[in-house]
Amino acid sequence: MTDVTNGVAAVRRLRSDEHCAGGDPVRRRVVLGLLATLGLTLAEQSIPAARAADAPLVMGIFPRRQATLTTELYAPLAAYLTRELGREVRLVTAKDFDAFWDGVEQRRFDIVHYNQFHYVRSADKYRVIAHNEEFGTGTVAGALYVRKDSGINSIAQLRGRKIVFGGGTDAMMSYILPSYLLLQAGLQPADYETVFSKNPPNSLISLYHGQADASGAGDILIDLPVVRDAMDTSTVTHLGMTERVLHLPWAVRKDMPQALGARIQTLLVGLQAREDGRAILARAEMTGFGAARDADYDPHRRIIHKVMPAIDIPR
């Protein structure tokens, strides 16, 4: 604010000098130029760097599942954080990945749960603090699935076949990691037909119904209740899996005060040790949270670079 105060004083002096000088045109141009610059500075400073201390914290959850189900799964977590922080935590999601990513780009979320690709692309705006643990593990692999009766026994046999991926090209587990598997087997995107389902569970369900020859998804997708309830999972199998990488991240805005970010991290990681916390985790179809730091996502960066060499990845 000191620069603005000094600028205002300078303008006042110039205006006074201008009046005394009888409106000299050169001096007038100087005054107008400084006013324009000062106006920009004031406009920039009117954009808050962070939300007010008593404003609700917006917790954005990416559309890994349908919006209504996402809200049901994470509402208890939002209520818990609200209670423990003494400050409202407002849960929001989006209808699809594109809409959600727009919210990330605009920094509409104070706390955000998204996929690994989202995080590494927004690491200049957000600071990772935690990661999911599901089915007792904090790591996950990308996988290619086929029907057991398909006669397909190797990834190389997918040449010329239709592969359904979940969500879109920004789906880390359901597109990027399976694409990496295909690359390792010598298959380029032009070597197979790519189609997308609305979300990862639907990619596996589409395979089950014979709408594709293979499905790209996370290795644990087959164990999710939303999938088990929609299909006979015994009819499909993993054709191949990638290396294991750290699970889905949780991050906070980089301009969030360090103490608040650390408090949120402690609350998340500590849930498993509390009886009410374990109930919250179970509702979210999780078994815990692990602490995370930026370097934990370097393996993801390496894989993304292989699949999408033109993508800019900030640090």
Residues 6+ away with beta carbon under 8 Å from 64: 70, 115, 167, 199, 200, 248
Q: Mean pLDDT of all residues in the chain?
A: 86
Radius of gyration of the chain (CA): 25
SS3 19: helix
Distance of alpha carbon 178 from alpha carbon 207, whole angstroms: 15
Confidence of residue 51 (pLDDT cuts 50, 70, 90): low
Specify the pTM: 0.78
* Alpha-carbon distance values, 130 to 244, 259, 282, 295 (Å): 17, 15, 17, 12
What is the arithmetic mean of pLDDT over 120-125? 96
Distance of alpha carbon 52 from alpha carbon 288, whole angstroms: 30
Provide the pLDDT for residue 25. 44
Residue 22's region, left for phi above 0, alpha for psi from -120 to 50, else beta, is: left
Confidence of residue 168 (pLDDT cuts 50, 70, 90): confident
| Strand ranges across the sheet with 288-291 | 89-92, 57-61, 111-113, 249-253, 126-133, 288-291
**What is the percent of the chain where pLDDT is above 70?**
83
**How many other C-beta atoms lie within 10 A of the C-beta of residue 94?**
18
Q: Identify whether the C-beta of residue 226 lies closer than 8 Å to the C-beta of residue 109.
A: no
Name the residue with higher pLDDT: 168 or 40.
168
Instruction: Quick: pLDDT tens for 209-241.
Output: 999 999 999 998 999 898 999 999 999 999 999
Q: Which two tokens stand for residue 225?
A: 């209740």
What ranges in 46-170 are assigned the alpha helix state H? Answer: 67-85, 97-105, 116-121
Q: Which of 93-102, 186-195, 233-242 is least confident?
A: 93-102
